[in-house]
Chain A
Amino acid sequence: MITWLGFAWTVFAAATVAALSTTLRFMFPNVLFEPKTSFKIGSPDTYELGKVDTRWEDKYGVWIIRSPEGIYALSTVCTHLGCKPSWMDSEQKFKCPCHGSGFYKSGINFEGPAPRPLERFSISLADDGQILVDKSKKFQYEKGEWSNPLSLLAV
């Protein structure tokens, strides 16, 4: 015997399940945007000494800096909450627009709430003489990882 109430509950349950299943569908996007984690960025001579190179910040999310010691690749993700700071040449610092954290050219945090320095990525010379950056390997200063030879490309 089908009662009206039973019928109503069945319809309600079916509608709920259907709605939930479409929600679940959103967990599996059709396209996943995952940029390559390792890439070549030209020969070391194209990077000027003492300059912060912002060429690759949009495409790969790295700043390339050539210091007297060598070339390193800094992550463009603020260590506070993940906004993208901008390089301010006249002030010689990275400044985050979200809560005002500031970082020196080296990546060390010195102002605002960011608790630790920007991360560096693995950087090395490929066989064809180009710089090879591998974002899957990162080096954190506070863990003493910047002494790792892969974090700095001596030139």
Chain B
Amino acid sequence: MIEVFKEAVNQFSSPVAIFTTGILLLALFVALPALMTSPLVAGAIGLLTVAFFIFGYFDPHFGEMVARPDNIPIVGLIFIFGFFTWYAMRKAVLNDALIAAGKPPKEKEESEEKVMVFPYLIYIEFVVALLYAAGLVFWSLLIKAPLEDPANPALSPNPSKAPWYFLGLQEMLVYFDPWLAGVLFPTIIIVGLCAIPYIDNDPKTSGYYCFRQRRWGITAFLGGFWLLWILLILMGTFLRGPNWNFFGPFEEWNLHKVVPLVNVNLSEYFYLKWLGIGLPKNWFLRELPGFTGLAAYFWVIPTLLEKTVFKKLQERMGTARYHILILLALLMLALPIKMYLRWAFNLKYLVAIPEFFFNI
């Protein structure tokens, strides 16, 4: 019985199945926030997760993964982030109900007084920082730091995993050229996060939790944070094994597991498979389909949206801010799109110019 369950979980565990499940869960969460954050449903989800980890702990392979000193923060992260996501959404849902009934949000009832950041907020943060520092000291006393041998360029451990907070980036490297996944995307993530207060400078809803008035912003945040960061870290931690192959949570890490990953560039699909002529010699001609696709994605889509559905938005935000917003949104969406293209069509690169080390 237990074996059957484990086997079923292993069978289900593929990057595409897990990522799709994540998207569906998120969609459910933002479509029915009141139901999903109700103590009953949220509690059930929390308990099921705990039960899964307790059950998994007794599996020799999964148990070792969970108890590893490197991985303890990740197990903690699931529950901490899960709790705080629930906490904020719960408050937002309750406020939404109040607002819908024509009443002011709860925070307004609690206190109307304005307080200064300094010293009130800083003081709280300082105390929390002290507690965290003390906690870290105890942690480091209890658990030995998982240090490995000195670095050796001639030896890459198998699997070679980045520190846990970078595993999302490492997962991205599977789908993108190092220049994009390692340099461009991290930069854009940081710049994009910094840009949020300038893109959305609407003061309404500040000072209290709410969801309905901020539906798109919160959904985009949850998607970016939970799917494109946390979920990738979880997959990288628990499900990536030797040779960066994908393993089920209860599957032994077999060094010789063979997963065919033969990938094909868009140019090869276009010229060899669809047109049936050889690849053009000239790199520009060869990569023209990819360039066209990218131009359509980054140029035609925003222009079309600007003329149609986002007309109001564009007027309200102004051209510059609108275009920055759309560009950031498209870049963010490009990540899952490329991942799905890889899973569905083994697509390697849309534009591949090894001559210049330029691949997209």
- A interface list, Cβ under 8 A from B: 57-59, 61, 76, 80-81, 83-86, 88, 90-91, 95-100, 102, 110-113, 115-116, 142-143
Majority SS at the chain A contact face:
loop
- B205 to chain A minimum Cβ distance, whole angstroms, is 41
Knowing A58-B154, A61-B154, A90-B256 are in contact, say whether A100-B160 is a contact too (CB < 8 A). no
For A85, what are the chain B residues with a Cβ–Cβ distance below 8 Å? Answer: 156
CA distance A74 to B359 in the complex (A): 23
Contact between chains at A112 and B154 (CB < 8 Å): no
A-B contact pairs, 5 of them (CB 8 A): A84-B156, A98-B173, A102-B261, A112-B263, A113-B175
Knowing A80-B173, A83-B160, A90-B256 are in contact, say whether A115-B354 is a contact too (CB < 8 A). yes
Contact between chains at B170 and A113 (CB < 8 Å): no
For A99, what are the chain B residues with a Cβ–Cβ distance below 8 Å? Answer: 170, 173-174, 244
- A143 to chain B minimum Cβ distance, whole angstroms, is 7
CA distance A85 to B154 in the complex (A): 10
Knowing A111-B261, A143-B355 are in contact, say whether A84-B153 is a contact too (CB < 8 A). yes
Contact between chains at A80 and B178 (CB < 8 Å): yes
For A110, what are the chain B residues with a Cβ–Cβ distance below 8 Å? Answer: 262
Knowing A96-B243, A97-B157 are in contact, say whether A81-B256 is a contact too (CB < 8 A). no
Knowing A100-B245, A111-B261, A143-B355 are in contact, say whether A57-B177 is a contact too (CB < 8 A). no
Contact between chains at B354 and A91 (CB < 8 Å): no
Residue-wise, chain B 110-154 has the 8 Å CB interface mask toward A (1 for contact) of: 000000000000000000000000000000000000000000011
Contact between chains at A100 and B243 (CB < 8 Å): yes
For B177, what are the chain A residues with a Cβ–Cβ distance below 8 Å? Answer: 113, 115
CA distance A2 to B26 in the complex (A): 64
For B357, what are the chain A residues with a Cβ–Cβ distance below 8 Å? Answer: 115
CA distance A84 to B151 in the complex (A): 13
CB of B260 within 8 Å of the partner chain: yes
Contact between chains at B174 and A100 (CB < 8 Å): yes
**Contact pick for B260, options A84, A111, A113, CB 8 Å:** A111
- B238 to chain A minimum Cβ distance, whole angstroms, is 16
Contact between chains at A113 and B155 (CB < 8 Å): no
CA distance A10 to B207 in the complex (A): 44
Contact between chains at A91 and B352 (CB < 8 Å): no
Residue-wise, chain B 151-179 has the 8 Å CB interface mask toward A (1 for contact) of: 00111111110000000001001111110
For A97, what are the chain B residues with a Cβ–Cβ distance below 8 Å? Answer: 156-160, 242-244
Contact between chains at B348 and A113 (CB < 8 Å): yes
Chain B minimum-CB-distance residue to A141: B354
